[in-house]
Copies of this chain bind each other. A is one copy, B any other.
Amino acid sequence: MHKEKLLMTPGPTMLPPEVLEVMRRQIIHHRTADFEKIWDEMHENLKYIFQTKQRVMTLVSSGTGAMEAAVCNLFSRGDKVLVISIGAFGDRFAQIAEAYGLDVVKLAVEWGKAVDVKDVKEILSEDINRKIKGVFITHNETSTGVTNDICEVSRLTRETERLLIVDAISSLGGLELRMDDWGLDCVVAGSQKALMAPPGLGFIALSEKAWKACEQSDLPKFYWDLKKYKKGLEKLSENPPYTPAITTVMAQAAALRIMIEEGLENIYAKHEKCAHAVQQGMLALGLTLLPDIKDSSYIITAVKAPENIDIGKVIKTLNNKYDIMVVGGQKHLKGKILRFGHCGYFDKFDIIKAFTALEQALLEEGFYFEPGAGVNAVMKELF
């Protein structure tokens, strides 16, 4: 007998029962007062999650679609942009910008490290003719378990004409992000991570400065054209411009209700506390974190595979024997790391359960440590 899989993954994340409950309901039509009420409530609550007074726009897409919307709405062919990449999702922003013919300066940071804000400052200061029109950055890089200091980077663009575009897909609602206070110009998110809804919705919000930049953009777009969504928000008959993913919207609205009740500060604190516990547990097992502990994400912890241990097998044992889903590395980190997510709908006991299973799976692969050492370290941090 297998229990339902416990996903300790960087997305999709587990769904609360309140979310599953609305998903089983018969479909309603999107051009109705019933749907409008839920739609408006969701968007009002998203403002709180984004910490912005701006409209948040909802796309039927995965997070990548919302990233593309940022690129093709804010820039024009040949525009010079700086893409800060610390992993697979930073690289994706560069690829999208290149696909649209932008002139991409890429600041590629070694996988496992956060960007050094001094390096960004240097590139921007050297750009004396202010050719660089925008800076792209990943808030939380799930491929490496590293978080960038968005607040610090935002000081470099906040009072300038440059736009700061933040991929907050895996961080929003889990890590502190203050769109308006920090002066972020574009924040992109997705439904299936800390926002505790199923995958299928991309979110994007723009600052006033970014809305002005939209007016200049000459890149071709139709589905991603944010001006249509802005217009649509004012009038139900065009709101949204295309058939929304009705069920997923209802699910997201239900998930946000839970988050509002919990309060963002408490949610941030939970992610931080649980991440510290997982970090200490990993260290107690004699494992090494991929990042410096100061840069290690509160959303997902990446540890290096111990020498002579087949980490792929450990992950398979966790998934198949113990019904705990964790993931391995991407691209050149494949087979070299294990990533343990702690994001969205989870609690301390999920961490304990998953960590117990991790200990067992490591022991079964012949990795030596004092049984219970990791779990004890985790418990000490959690309680």
Chain B residues within 8 Å of A72, by CB: 220
B12 pairs with A243, CB closer than 8 A: yes
Distance between Cα atoms of A100 and B225 in the complex (Å): 12
Partner of A64, one of B65, B242, B325, B327: B242
B60 pairs with A246, CB closer than 8 A: no
Distance between Cα atoms of A220 and B68 in the complex (Å): 11
Contact pattern, A 1-25, Cβ under 8 Å of B = 1, otherwise 0: 0001101010111110000110111
Given A99-B222, A222-B95, A325-B32: A244 and B26 interface contact (C-beta under 8 Å): no
- Confirm or deny: A190 has a beta carbon within 8 angstroms of a beta carbon on chain B: yes
- Confirm or deny: A29 has a beta carbon within 8 angstroms of a beta carbon on chain B: yes
Chain B residues within 8 Å of A325, by CB: 29, 32
Task: Kindly report which residue of chain B lies nearest to residue A19, judged by CB atoms.
Answer: B27
- Confirm or deny: A360 has a beta carbon within 8 angstroms of a beta carbon on chain B: no
Distance between Cα atoms of A29 and B193 in the complex (Å): 12
- Confirm or deny: A130 has a beta carbon within 8 angstroms of a beta carbon on chain B: no
Contact pattern, A 30-56, Cβ under 8 Å of B = 1, otherwise 0: 111000000000000000000000000
Partner of A243, one of B60, B199, B225, B243: B199
Query: What DSSP secondary structure best describes chain A's contact surface?
Result: loop
Interface bracket on A? 35 or more
- Which of A23, A72, A220, A241 is packed against the most chain B CB atoms within 10 Å? A220
Given A21-B24, A28-B5, A60-B65: A11 and B221 interface contact (C-beta under 8 Å): no
B199 pairs with A60, CB closer than 8 A: yes
Contact pattern, A 60-80, Cβ under 8 Å of B = 1, otherwise 0: 111111001000100000000
B32 pairs with A13, CB closer than 8 A: no
Chain B residues within 8 Å of A327, by CB: 31
Distance between Cα atoms of A15 and B250 in the complex (Å): 15
- Confirm or deny: A198 has a beta carbon within 8 angstroms of a beta carbon on chain B: yes
- Confirm or deny: A286 has a beta carbon within 8 angstroms of a beta carbon on chain B: no
B243 pairs with A27, CB closer than 8 A: no
- Confirm or deny: A223 has a beta carbon within 8 angstroms of a beta carbon on chain B: yes
Distance between Cα atoms of A192 and B245 in the complex (Å): 9
- Confirm or deny: A101 has a beta carbon within 8 angstroms of a beta carbon on chain B: yes
In the complex, 23 of the A-B residue pairs with CB atoms within 8 angstroms, ordered by the A residue number, are A4-B26, A5-B29, A12-B27, A12-B30, A12-B246, A14-B26, A15-B26, A20-B25, A27-B192, A32-B319, A62-B223, A62-B243, A64-B242, A65-B223, A68-B222, A72-B220, A198-B245, A198-B246, A198-B248, A199-B246, A199-B247, A245-B245, A245-B248
